[in-house]
Amino acid sequence: MVTTLFLIRHGETEGAEIKRYKGSIDVPLSEKGQKQMEQVAEFLNRSYKSYETYSLNAVYCSPLSRALKSAEIIAAPYGLKPIAMKDLRERSFGIWEGMSFTEIKEQYPEEFNLWASNPLKFSPVDGESTIELRGRVIDTFEKIIDAHNDEDIAIVAHGGVNRVILCHIMGIPLENIFRIEQDFAAVNIIEFHENYPVVKLLNGGCIG
């Protein structure tokens, strides 16, 4: 019995040409981001069409519009409606939210360097800690997996959320969370063999 999880990051957002910590700010997909997610939907169908029994049974997502819209695109071919889960939202970056990486480095150089060097020990100023993020994300993730034994499901979330899930699955210490890349529209495929996870694809997909 195998449960297959497609863990997906939302597509590109508006204003993505400047790298910013958007966190809990509700930023919509860009036109390019919508096209990316359409390509991901095609990629899922193409890559797994040889599975005679393959079909998504459920699609879960963050309630933030960039993830919800992405999930709607993924779910549409299967006639599904995404299930938004508040605990799959991106972490709050506190007073850094909306700021570019350059602005943060200039205004909070010491705090940013500490955060970048050990995101488990240090947190964004007035933001959510990695431990707090892990607590809500993994609890929700495990409930989703337990509810879909021997089924194929998708979770459409954010870079930070996906990294926490992947660290949990692969047993990677959370202080190394930034060693996992999650591009816009990234696809990760994990198979659970009687609750034993095997990562089949990491940060893949069809990204345009």
Residues assigned a catalytic role: 10, 90
How far apart (Å, rounded) are the C-alpha atoms in residues 28 and 21? 14
SS in 3 state form for the chain?
CEEEEEEEECCCECCCCCCECCCCCCCCECHHHHHHHHHHHHHHHHHHCCCCCCCEEEEEECCCHHHHHHHHHHHHHHCCCCEECHHHCCCCCHHHCCCEHHHHHHHCHHHHHHHHHCCCCCCCCCCCCHHHHHHHHHHHHHHHHHCCCCCEEEEEECHHHHHHHHHHHHCCCHHHHHHCCCCCCCEEEEEEECCEEEEEEEEECCCC
Sign for the CA dihedral angle at 174, 144, 29, 43 comes to positive
